[in-house]
Structure 1
Amino acid sequence: MKFAITSRGDQTSNALKMKMKNYLLDFNLIFDEKEPDIVISIGGDGTFLYAFHQYQHRLDKTAFVGVHTGHLGFYADWVPSEIEKLVIELARTPFSVVEYPILETIVRHIDGGKETLYLALNEATIRATEGSLVIDVEIKGQKFETFRGDGLCVSTPSGSTAYNKALGGAIIHPSIEAIQVTEMASINNRVFRTIGSPLILPAHHTLLLRPKKETDLLVTVDHKTILHNDVKSIQCRVADQKVRFARYRPFPFWNRVRDSFVGDERPKFLPDEINKR
């Protein structure tokens, strides 16, 4: 089996990366950063997002597993004290695959030039470069509303626990193939009115956003922000591709939610333990 490892870049994560790499090479696994069968992410959720985008061109061939050394490791199944156990699992046990839906976002321009397609593991957000965003919201080909406010967030089920949650959106189990639309500080008065609630769209419904007041928009895809000029429309839907997680043991979604947001906050490891093992 071929593997690659991404690290958050801090001393603790880099030490774990080198230790895991050496262990796996000792088990005759092949280190291959171009075409890995499995990618090990060591760090937090930001590191995992980086790994996802680095290998988004081969999602059907690459699975991911996370080791948590950050402040929030929602995508991580393992902690540093379990490194030896994970290495043995990787070397000797075929992994099961859990697939989660992701988001496809297509930006089209007024001049009819080349459209840009993005894949997101967590979410995409749309904002104006200055002032309020004014944009028509269409669902399945029908106008739903004209939104006025700071912006819109379109999230995946696994990303519903990220920025979407901070905006008051619902947490959705990732077995549900859907996207969620949440508002950022919408303007609601006697003149302007929006739904004011998150919208959950199934996989066969397409969201289309058409800017009215301004055509230069800031589009954020997970951790990347891109300025798009002369935007005609932005299309969002559940992508045909999925992200694949390598699982060696059960880790139910609701346990992740509980541990991340309402569980006792206890240190799961001491950094000094790494060099003692």
Structure 2
Amino acid sequence: MRKLKFAITSKGDPTSNALKQKMSTYLQDFELVYDEEQPDIVISVGGDGTLLYAFHRYSSRLDKTAFVGVHTGHLGFYADWLPNEIEKLVIAIAKMPYQVIEYPLLDIIIRYRHGGKETRYLGLNESTVKSLVGTLVMDVEIRDEHFERFRGDGLCVSTPSGSTAYNKALGGAIIHPSIHAIQLAEMASINNRVFRTVGSPLILPEHHTLTLKPVKAYDFHVTIDHLTVMHRDVKSIQYRVAKEKVRFARFRPFPFWKRVSDSFISDGK
């Protein structure tokens, strides 16, 4: 019988590093194999940012790797285990078959005006686009049909699991991760007698493609989760629901709406 392989990603602070070392020792005592290159399970110790880092590190093997999170700071949407539960988690990983929960991802393709190889990214939470200087002006197309010309600070495209992050701060809807969709939210759009946008978040199903096309300036700051990349001479930025999915290892229920309530409503009682 093949032994389960695991890797652990730490936030890097003393508490997270100590938990990483302790869990690694415990799991290897159960004869699991520590393998940073080809893990079956990746344990994230820290917060949601740590899990985002782990996701991008292992994005080339999403069909083979499942993630589980231990949070050492504020309650996370991806990290559902507490530091005082690591012995329970270790036993669950070593002894229990786990349920795999899949969440949709964001597929991002950036194409360039003068040819060259397109750039592709996968996003777990969201992608944003902002101009290097001044107002962002973008033609927004849905299913290759012109929808609007956006003028404002920027645009944010999020996944359902990322809808509770920056998207929510922009007034976007919270979407359950079982729904395969993407959401477009505006950042401070310009709306007056001359310029007009829909002024509302848009939720697109998985068979729809969203494309942003520059009108004048062609250089942009593009974020993908925690990554920020400057792209020059951009022809278009295409968004859609990715074919790939992120896989989470579940050893107990982790209800999405309870996480929403605990994060934004509950006073801890």
TM-score by length of 2: 0.98
Q: Secondary structure at the match of 1:77?
A: strand
Q: Alpha-carbon deviation of 1:10?
A: 0.4
Partner of 1:111: 114
Q: How does 1:143-154 map to 2 (within 5 A)?
A: 143-154=146-157
Q: Give 5+ residue unaligned stretches, structure 2.
A: none
Partner of 1:218: 221
Alpha-carbon separation, structure 2, partners of 1:28 and 1:263 = 40
Q: Give 5+ residue unaligned stretches, structure 1.
A: 267-277
Q: Secondary structure at the match of 1:3?
A: strand
Q: Secondary structure at the match of 1:60?
A: coil
Q: Across the two proteins, how many residue pairs are aligned to each other?
A: 266
| 1:49-83 deviations in Å (ceiling 9; x for gaps) | 00000000000000000001122411112000101
Q: Alpha-carbon deviation of 1:180?
A: 0.1
Q: How does 1:48-197 map to 2 (within 5 A)?
A: 48-197=51-200
Dislocated runs of 4+, deviation >3 Å: none
Partner of 1:201: 204
Partner of 1:38: 41
| 1:162-193 deviations in Å (ceiling 9; x for gaps) | 00000000000000000000000000000000
TM-score by length of 1: 0.95
Partner of 1:264: 267
Name the aligned partner's letter for residue 67 of structure 1. Answer: V
Q: Secondary structure at the match of 2:137?
A: strand
Alpha-carbon separation, structure 2, partners of 1:107 and 1:4 = 31
Alpha-carbon separation, structure 1, partners of 2:123 and 2:75 = 19
Alpha-carbon separation, structure 1, partners of 2:268 and 2:129 = 33
Q: Secondary structure at the match of 1:168?
A: coil
| 1:88-120 deviations in Å (ceiling 9; x for gaps) | 000000111000000000000001111000000
Alpha-carbon separation, structure 1, partners of 2:161 and 2:91 = 28
| 1:193-229 deviations in Å (ceiling 9; x for gaps) | 0000000000000001000021001100000110000
Alpha-carbon separation, structure 1, partners of 2:140 and 2:75 = 33
Q: Alpha-carbon deviation of 1:265?
A: 4.2
Alpha-carbon separation, structure 2, partners of 1:74 and 1:260 = 8
1:249 correspondence with 2:252: yes
Name the aligned partner's letter for residue 263 of structure 2. Answer: S
| 1:220-249 deviations in Å (ceiling 9; x for gaps) | 000011000000000000000000000000
Is 138-147 or 257-266 further displaced after alignment? 257-266
Name the aligned partner's letter for residue 43 of structure 1. Answer: G
Which of the residues 227, 236, 243 maps onto 1:233? 236
